[in-house]
Amino acid sequence: MPERRTVALVTLGCARNEVDSEELAGRLEADGWQLVEDAADADVAVVNTCGFVEAAKKDSVDALLEANDLKSHGRTQAVVAVGCMAERYGKELAEALPEADGVLGFDDYTDISDRLQTILSGGIHASHTPRDRRKLLPISPAERQESAAAVALPGHGPTDLPEGVAPASGPRAPLRRRLDGSPVASVKLASGCDRRCSFCAIPSFRGSFISRRPSDVLNETRWLAEQGVKEIMLVSENNTSYGKDLGDIRLLESLLPELAEVDGIERVRVSYLQPAEMRPGLIDVLTSTPKVAPYFDLSFQHSAPGVLRAMRRFGDTDRFLELLDTIRSKAPEAGVRSNFIVGFPGETESDLAELQRFLNGARLDAIGVFGYSDEEGTEAATYDNKLDQDVVAERLAHISRLAEELVSQRAEERVGETLRVLVESVDEEEGVYGRAAHQAPETDGQVLLTSGAGLSVGRMVEVKVVGTEGVDLVAEPLTGSLACSEEAGR
Query: Sign (positive/negative) of CA torsion 149, 105, 21, 11?
Result: negative
Q: Are 361 and 435 in contact (CB under 8 A)?
A: no
Angle at 225 between CA 220 and CA 231, to 5 degrees: 95
C-beta of residue 219 within 8 angstroms of C-beta of residue 145:
no
| d(C-alpha 102, C-alpha 77), whole Å | 12
197: annotated binding-site residue?
A: yes
Separation CA 361–CA 343 (nearest Å): 21
Length of the chain measured in residues: 490
Strand order in the sheet with 34-35: 34-35, 6-11, 44-49, 78-83, 102-103
484 labeled part of a ligand binding site: no
Which residues 6+ apart lie within 8 Å of 490 measured at CB?
267, 290, 291, 292, 293, 294, 333, 420, 437
With CA atoms as reference, report the closest residue to 335 among 299, 300, 364: 364
Alpha-carbon gap, residue 191 to 193, rounded angstroms: 7
Long-range contacts of 91-100 (CB under 8 A, 24+ apart): 91/127, 91/128, 91/129, 91/130, 92/130, 93/127, 94/127, 97/61, 97/64, 97/65, 99/64, 99/65, 99/68, 100/64, 100/68
Residue ranges at the known binding site: 14, 50, 84, 193, 197, 200
Residue ranges at the known binding site for [4Fe-4S] cluster: 14, 50, 84, 193, 197, 200
